[in-house]
Amino acid sequence: MARSNARLVRLAAFVAALLLCGFILSKGSTSDYVPVINNDTKSETTVVGGGKAAAAVVADSQKSPSSDSSSSKADKAAAYKSPAAAADGGLKASVGEDGYKRYYYTDKVDESQRISATFVTLARNRDLNSLIGSIRHIEDRFNNKFHYDWVFLNDEEFTDEFKAVTSSLVSGTTKYGKIDKSQWGFPEWIDQDKAAAVRKDMHDRRIIYGDSIPYRHMCRYESGFFYRHPLMMDYEYYWRVEPDVKIYCDIDYDIFRFMKDNKKSYGWTISLPEYIETIPTLWKTTKEFIKANPQYLPENNMLDFVSDDGGESYNLCHFWSNFEIGSLEFWRGEAYSAYFEYLDKAGGFFYERWGDAPVHSIAAALFLPRDELHFFGDVGYYHVPFHNCPVDPQTRLTNKCVCNTQEDFTWKDYSCTNKFHAINNLRRPHNWKSFSG
């Protein structure tokens, strides 16, 4: 009886954490976008990181507010004096105990050694103060060694202040793009009255973001459009970064090259159950798509991660998409393109409240071979209210992790990470059971 009560207490605590997460996120980067788009203006700005580049943004804006505020080539050359431009290479290959090859930073990284990859952030101008901490974490823990690009996307024009501050923090090239109005709004096939009635009903039932229109636009955009933005078309891989996140550990190997060398298409840090009230027909719609398109499922897919009964129902496990490192070619590929199109026409982004996290997770589990999905257990990550803090002592010491293992969510009963390791026969930290429960 005592054990049963303990489990009920833990469940109550988990539910409370999810509600807290929803409340705080509702104040953050993806909850109340107010689209303000000028159809006659399409802004795509490129700035090279560094003080002079940041100054160039302001200088250009003073000359002409409506002009492209890209730095000149001379400014770029002056600003970009990074180790990555050195002629001598600075990466040392190593194969770890897990069998994966990693290229570690040693001194100076030759620009030619970097692969085609970028960070990407969907943000509003008012997110700046919440975002600078995230950028600093990424730069200090990883990117100051490798100098990868950073793409910022917004449904309105970025301010000069936003460009100046972010470009001064990012060691690589910064790019600023505006989202096309056709990708941030209601599609023509959506019944507005029906969608409004759903929002009212979800509001009355106090479903998180239930009455939010902007949140639905964000989920649809992250599900089906961010990888199609013109600024993203130059890249093979991306790392999604949101405001108010933390990276707890040093990442001394090229994480993008790791993905490419080891044939990984989707990387994640936190996994948990989705809120069923937001996606009541998502799995039914997915099954309809699969029945009509069985050719998209590889033989060694990971259906057993998202379903416990052979596909009859969805167990709600999903990867938290506020941290994603992935292949852009996967999202642009035939299988996912057809899947998103089917979901979009079904209307669930507006008639329910389908999120990009379960959509991405189901697609990765079904359309990728299982060995192309990777759990990053050595990075250390936080997005309110959940922590991924490596519990293995050697990992924390080697990677100089700064986090409290007692706050780690990874191995808790309500995390789906244990399931991922079990079905894929992956080794867990020797002491993981001490952090379960």
pLDDT in tens, 288-306: 999 999 999 999 999 999 9
Q: 436 and 412 in contact (C-beta within 8 Å)?
A: yes
Exposed e or buried b per residue across 327-345, where buried means at least 16 C-beta atoms within 10 angstroms of its C-beta: bbebbebebbeebbebbbe
User: Residues, the chain, total?
Assistant: 437
Architecture of domain 11-30+183-224+265-435 in this structure: Alpha-Beta Complex (3.90)
Per-residue pLDDT of 141-177, as tens digits, reads 999 999 999 999 999 999 999 999 999 999 999 999 9
Reply yes or no on whether 188 is catalytic: no
pLDDT higher than threshold 50 for residue 25: no
So what's the pLDDT on residue 405?
98
So what's the pLDDT on residue 97?
81
pLDDT higher than threshold 90 for residue 57: no
Answer yes or no: pTM beyond 0.75: yes
So what's the pLDDT on residue 35?
33
So what's the pLDDT on residue 16?
53
The three-point CA angle 363-367-372 to 5° equals: 100
pLDDT higher than threshold 70 for residue 333: yes
* Mean pLDDT value across residues 392-419: 98
Say how far apart CA 129 and CA 60 lie, in whole Å: 23
So what's the pLDDT on residue 45?
55
For the ranges 12-16, 207-211, 415-419, the maximum mean pLDDT occurs at 415-419
Q: Where in the chain is the domain with CATH 3.90.550.10?
A: 11-30+183-224+265-435, 44-179+226-261
So what's the pLDDT on residue 10?
52
76 or 177, which is more confident: 177
User: Tokens at residue 231, please?
Assistant: 């600024």
- Among 273, 337, 263, which residue's Cα sits nearest to residue 306? 273
Question: What average pLDDT does the structure give for the chain?
Answer: 85
Say how far apart CA 344 and CA 20 lie, in whole Å: 29
pLDDT higher than threshold 70 for residue 85: no
Class of domain 44-179+226-261: alpha beta
Per-residue pLDDT of 189-203, as tens digits, reads 999 999 999 999 999
* Mean pLDDT value across residues 49-78: 38
So what's the pLDDT on residue 91?
78
Residue with the two structure tokens 């600078």: 132
Phi/psi at 104 (nearest 5 deg)? -90, 145
pLDDT higher than threshold 60 for residue 353: yes
Per-residue pLDDT of 98-110, as tens digits, reads 888 888 876 667 7
Per-residue pLDDT of 271-291, as tens digits, reads 999 999 999 999 999 999 999
Say how far apart CA 92 and CA 395 lie, in whole Å: 19
So what's the pLDDT on residue 9?
44
The one-letter amino acid code at 105 reads Y
Query: How many angstroms separate the first and last alpha carbons of the chain?
Result: 16
Out of 324, 329, 334, 352, the active site residue is 324
Say how far apart CA 53 and CA 78 lie, in whole Å: 8
- Among 365, 417, 414, which residue's Cα sits nearest to residue 389? 417
Say how far apart CA 128 and CA 176 lie, in whole Å: 14
Give whole-number Cα distances, 131 to 22, 124, 125, 144, in Å.
Answer: 18, 10, 10, 17
Partner residues linked to 117 by β-bridges = 237
Residue 14's pLDDT band (cuts 50, 70, 90): low
* Mean pLDDT value across residues 63-70: 35
The strand pair at 381-383 and 386-388 is best described as antiparallel
